[in-house]
A = this chain, B = another copy of it.
Amino acid sequence: VKADHIEWTAGHTLRMLDQRRLPNEEVWVEARTYGDVADAIRSMVVRGAPLIGIAAAFGLAMAAQAGDELGHADEVLRATRPTAVNLGWALDRMLGVARSGASPERLLEEAERIASEDAAAAKRMSELGADLLPDSGGVLTHCNAGALAMLEYGSAVGVIRAAHEHGKQINVLVDETRPFLQGARLTAWELQKLGIPMTLITDSMAGHFMSRGAVQAVVTGADRIAANGDTANKIGTYSLAVLAKENGIPFYIAAPTSTLDLSCSDGAHIPIEERSVEEVVSIGGVRIAPEGVHAAHPAFDVTPARYIAAIITEAGIARPPFQGALAQLIQSVSLSLLERE
């Protein structure tokens, strides 16, 4: 893989753009062991459900190259972040190849294959989703589901980008996405580079702009989609979905099929990661609350399927009722993989 934010080098190193330091600094972190990769995922050097799947796949390939015990490496990588299912999906796929007695080179090839499939999925879902957006108007997004969270176009930002490239006159409302500010730091940075008109807002302003008619569609990424369509995504997504419904605005999820977890019946079974409250009581090292206050930091929430108008994947667009539609998408992906073998 060789992208603007993640690169596998001949020197057997996974280089990752440190997303914690964007947009102020562009610093790369180099991982030479699977432990380094695990650290990078845990500390959010890399983030975004598809991207941490790719990083973990390379981590497992690095473990194989180094002769490390793969079961242990898998355990360490898998434990880094609990909500995004792409992590487990990528590791399962790597372990499947490893169990067939594959060489370290073959595992590396599999990691590269995951990355290139991800890039293709991003482009494909962006094209499919672009048709759902209005010819002109405001589109709101939350967190960063752009190139930085994946490869190529990304998911939700990819849908917006493709619509923009098709000549749709879209102004993007970007939620800043407290506490980690992925919207303000990453999505705003990406859109600015792409020259797509945007307005940065605080998360608390989204409802106001919806009620004033400034939003014609909402599109976000996802970290895990259950069999019934319930979707875990960055904290704040659920609120947007409720507000969109109340204002008659379609709410879309864009995610590759690797984000589908059909073994999970509904959202109640999706584990919600709790992250450090330091990210809540301070911003960029500046303390914003009195010392000693109690705070909470659920990093994700679950949007029930009934608020979701459509789930955009590289294999097609699922509409409610999602149970059957998502199962069909997964089946079509499995079939096309079988055909390719």
Complex Cα spacing A217 to B239, Å: 17
Q: Distance (Å) between the CB of A29 and the closest chain B CB?
A: 21
Q: Looking at the complex, which one of B24, B176, B188, B204 makes contact with A239 (CB distance below 8 Å)? A: B204
* Chain A 202-240: CB-based contact to B (< 8 A → 1; otherwise 0): 111111110100000000000000000000000110110
- Cβ of A298 within 8 Å of any chain B Cβ, yes or no, is yes
Asked if B296 and A199 make an inter-chain contact with CB atoms under 8 angstroms apart, the answer reads yes
Complex Cα spacing A197 to B296, Å: 13
Complex Cα spacing A192 to B184, Å: 30
Complex Cα spacing A295 to B192, Å: 12
- Cβ of A177 within 8 Å of any chain B Cβ, yes or no, is yes
Asked if A283 and B280 make an inter-chain contact with CB atoms under 8 angstroms apart, the answer reads no
Q: Hey, which chain B residues are within 8 Å of A298, CB to CB?
A: 205, 208
Asked if B178 and A290 make an inter-chain contact with CB atoms under 8 angstroms apart, the answer reads no
Asked if A294 and B200 make an inter-chain contact with CB atoms under 8 angstroms apart, the answer reads yes
Q: Distance (Å) between the CB of A284 and the closest chain B CB?
A: 4
Complex Cα spacing A292 to B192, Å: 9
Q: Distance (Å) between the CB of A274 and the closest chain B CB?
A: 11
Asked if B285 and A286 make an inter-chain contact with CB atoms under 8 angstroms apart, the answer reads yes
Complex Cα spacing A305 to B204, Å: 19
Complex Cα spacing A204 to B142, Å: 10
**Interfacial residues of chain A within 122-160, with CB under 8 A of chain B in the complex:** none
Asked if B235 and A185 make an inter-chain contact with CB atoms under 8 angstroms apart, the answer reads no
Complex Cα spacing A113 to B288, Å: 35
- Cβ of A70 within 8 Å of any chain B Cβ, yes or no, is no
Q: In the assembly, how many copies of this chain are there?
A: 2
- Cβ of A23 within 8 Å of any chain B Cβ, yes or no, is yes
- Cβ of A189 within 8 Å of any chain B Cβ, yes or no, is yes
Given contacts A200-B294, A281-B200, A290-B192, contact A238 B208 (CB under 8 A): yes
Given contacts A286-B284, A289-B23, contact A178 B204 (CB under 8 A): yes
Q: Distance (Å) between the CB of A330 and the closest chain B CB?
A: 27
- Cβ of A21 within 8 Å of any chain B Cβ, yes or no, is no
Asked if B289 and A185 make an inter-chain contact with CB atoms under 8 angstroms apart, the answer reads yes
Q: Hey, which chain B residues are within 8 Å of A192, CB to CB?
A: 290, 292-293
Complex Cα spacing A201 to B179, Å: 9
Q: Hey, which chain B residues are within 8 Å of A206, CB to CB?
A: 239
Complex Cα spacing A298 to B205, Å: 8
Q: Distance (Å) between the CB of A99 and the closest chain B CB?
A: 38
Residue contacts A-B, CB under 8 angstroms, 6 given: A188-B293, A198-B294, A199-B295, A200-B293, A209-B296, A242-B243
Given contacts A201-B296, A207-B238, A208-B236, 13 further A-B pairs with CB under 8 A are: A176-B288, A178-B203, A179-B202, A185-B289, A188-B293, A192-B292, A192-B293, A199-B294, A200-B280, A200-B289, A205-B298, A207-B236, A239-B239
In order of increasing CB-CB distance, the 5 nearest A-B pairs are A204-B236, A207-B239, A284-B286, A208-B301, A178-B202
